[in-house]
Structure 1
Amino acid sequence: MDKHQYESASVDAKLTAATSAIAGERSSLDATTDKTVAALNRVDDKVTAMRKARTSDPDTLGDKVFRMAFPAVVGLVGGKVFSSVWNLVVAKVHPSPDDDEQDRQQGLVMSMLFAAASAAFGTLLTSVSTKGVQKIIDRMQAKRD
């Protein structure tokens, strides 16, 4: 083998080694690329599902705000009305300052009774108004369709 053939064989061996190294890197890149594409496809599928859920939701923004705000306002106003009625009733039951000592002793019990009654009344109002709002929204959606 002469010097030229030896150099050519050496270059061929180096070229073969470099080609196989590149092929190994390429297969590694292909695997990474496949994983990245699969992850992007999963994200795309999730976004598509979320878009379909959003577009198939019959509630408008106004419906959602109405559904949230109306029962809260009814509960707040109802609580204030209950508090006013409670104060009127308590003032009629204990109109004289002669029984202030007895009122102080019963203060904790009356406070707990007021809190329980007020919470029950507020919960009842909120529950009824939530059901009423749902019926109103259902009627509005039926008209829209």
Structure 2
Amino acid sequence: MNKHQHESASADAKLTAATDAIAGERSDLDAMTDKTVAELNRVNNKVTAMREARTSDPDTLGDKVFRMAFPAVVGLVGGKVFSSVWNLVINKVHPSPDDDEQDRQQGLIMSMLFAAASAAFGTLLSEVSTKGVQKIIARMQTKRR
């Protein structure tokens, strides 16, 4: 082998090594590109599903606010009415200060009774107002269609 052939073979070997390195980098780049595209498609599918869920929701913002606020207002007003009625009844049952000692002894029992009755009344009002709001909103949605 002469000097020229040896240099040519050496250049060919270097060229082959460089080509192999480029091909390896290209396959790494192709794998990274495929992974990136797959992640972007996953995010795109998630965004599409969220948009479809939002657009298929029949509730408007007003419906959602009404559904949340109305039972709260009914509960607040109902609690105040119950408290007022309770105080009126208690004042009629124990109008004189002569039986204050007896009232103090029954205070814990009356407090527990008030708490239980108030909670039961509040739960009843909450359930009734929630069901009523559902019916009202269903009617409004039917009219909108």
Equivalence for 1:112: 112
Q: Distance in 2 between matches of 1:109 and 1:26?
A: 82
Moved more, 65-74 or 3-12: 3-12
Equivalence for 1:44: 44
Q: Distance in 2 between matches of 1:87 and 1:140?
A: 39
- Is residue 31 from structure 1 mapped to residue 31 from structure 2 by the alignment? yes
Once the 2 structures are TM-superposed, how far is the Cα of residue 4 of structure 1 from its aligned partner?
Answer: 2.4
Q: Distance in 1 between matches of 2:10 and 2:112?
A: 97
Once the 2 structures are TM-superposed, how far is the Cα of residue 67 of structure 1 from its aligned partner?
Answer: 0.3
- Percent same amino acid among aligned pairs? 88
Indicate the RMSD between aligned Cα atoms, in angstroms: 1.0
CA-to-partner distance for each residue in 1:47-90, whole Å, 9 max, x for gaps? 11111111011100000000000001100110011011111111
Report how many residues are paired.
Answer: 145
Give unpaired runs (5+ residues) of structure 2.
none
Q: Distance in 2 between matches of 1:18 and 1:102?
A: 102
Once the 2 structures are TM-superposed, how far is the Cα of residue 3 of structure 1 from its aligned partner?
Answer: 2.1
Q: Distance in 1 between matches of 2:64 and 2:75?
A: 17
Equivalence for 2:143: 143
Q: Distance in 2 between matches of 1:102 and 1:82?
A: 24
CA-to-partner distance for each residue in 1:79-138, whole Å, 9 max, x for gaps? 011011111111111111111111111111111111111111111111101111111111
CA-to-partner distance for each residue in 1:3-42, whole Å, 9 max, x for gaps? 2222221121112112112211221221122111111111
Q: Distance in 1 between matches of 2:22 and 2:38?
A: 24
Q: Distance in 2 between matches of 1:10 and 1:109?
A: 103
Give unpaired runs (5+ residues) of structure 1.
none
When normalised by structure 1's length, the TM-score is 0.95
